[in-house]
């Protein structure tokens, strides 16, 4: 299965502009034969939107989500994108997966990073949210979640082939290490594919590292985006190509 990562520069607080950008990326991804498109953390609202996160937060049953579903139906893609989710009085840092059927799988971030996220979002208990995409089992995490090995292991034990990780990784030495090394280790130690899709550029609150990566079960890098610009990039996910790696690295089977 061919997947696409969309490393984008979101417009803070401008939901319509961000949906338009995702729609254009979806159309291009479909033309290239992709079946799955992944956009960054809070791509729909803009990660650094601050107060506007509350103003633009929506429920999973909102017109915003309906538009994303229509986008998926029109292009034949499954789309994953981060958004600020409202549920009663709570706001969650969430990611939605839609295949255009009108049904949504929603994952809420379980590990909030720093005072910024803790100010604007409620925390959710860790959960395994799974979906089937063209016969491939897909699980979702968001940014900081992937830095805790327990979260990826939970999904691996649940039988996923691919972990998608919308993220908002900032510029800095630690960010470079996470993107360039940790993501490949998470893939290897769980024998799964990991798609880590970041923002680029800057907004009024943050500057982003770019460096989106898609890693394979043997720790190899299937695709990456540059540090400093928007990019729609692709990887072929062929699970059988890594049967030998799984046979040699039996972490899940040997786990006690």
Enumerate the active-site residues: 41, 109, 143
Which residues have CB under 8 Å from 108's CB, separation 6+? Answer: 85, 92, 93, 94, 124, 127
Write b or e for each residue in 109-128: b if 16 or more Cβ atoms lie within 10 A of its Cβ, otherwise e: bbbbbeeebeebbbebeeeb
Scan for tokens 């491939």, then name that residue. 136
Phi, psi of 157 (to 5 degrees): -65, -25
Q: Across the beta sheet with 36-38, what order do the strands follow?
A: 104-108, 90-98, 78-87, 36-38, 2-7, 231-236
Phi-psi region of 131 (alpha: psi -120 to 50; beta: other; left: phi over 0): beta
Q: How many helices (H) and strands (E) does the chain have?
A: 9, 12
The answer to whether the Cα torsion of 108, 110, 114, 115 is positive or negative is positive
Backbone angles phi, psi at 38, to 5 degrees: -120, 125
């Amino acid at each position: 299965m061919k997947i696409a990562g969309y490393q984008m520069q979101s417009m803070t607080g401008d939901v319509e502009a961000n949906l338009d950008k995702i729609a254009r990326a979806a159309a291009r991804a479909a033309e290239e034969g992709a079946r799955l498109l992944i956009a960054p953390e809070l791509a729909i609202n803009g990660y650094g939107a601050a107060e506007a996160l509350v103003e633009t937060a929506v429920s999973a049953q909102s017109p915003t989500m309906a538009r994303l579903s229509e986008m998926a139906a029109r292009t034949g893609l499954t789309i994953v994108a981060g958004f600020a989710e409202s549920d009663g009085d709570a706001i969650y840092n969430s990611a939605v997966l839609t295949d255009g059927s009108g049904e949504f799988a929603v994952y809420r971030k379980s590990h909030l990073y720093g005072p910024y996220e803790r100010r604007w979002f409620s925390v959710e208990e860790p959960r395994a949210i799974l979906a089937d995409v063209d016969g491939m089992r897909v699980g979702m995490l968001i940014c900081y979640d992937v830095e805790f090995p327990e979260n990826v292991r939970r999904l691996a034990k649940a039988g996923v082939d691919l972990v998608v990780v919308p993220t908002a990784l900032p510029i800095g030495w630690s960010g470079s290490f996470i993107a360039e090394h940790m993501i490949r280790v998470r893939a290897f130690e769980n024998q799964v594919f990991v798609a880590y899709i970041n923002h680029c550029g800057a907004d009024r609150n943050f500057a982003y590292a770019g460096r989106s990566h898609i890693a394979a079960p043997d720790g190899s890098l299937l695709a990456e985006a540059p540090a400093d610009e928007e990019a729609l990039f692709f990887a072929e996910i062929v699970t059988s190509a890594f049967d030998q790696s799984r046979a040699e690295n039996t972490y899940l089977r040997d786990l006690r």
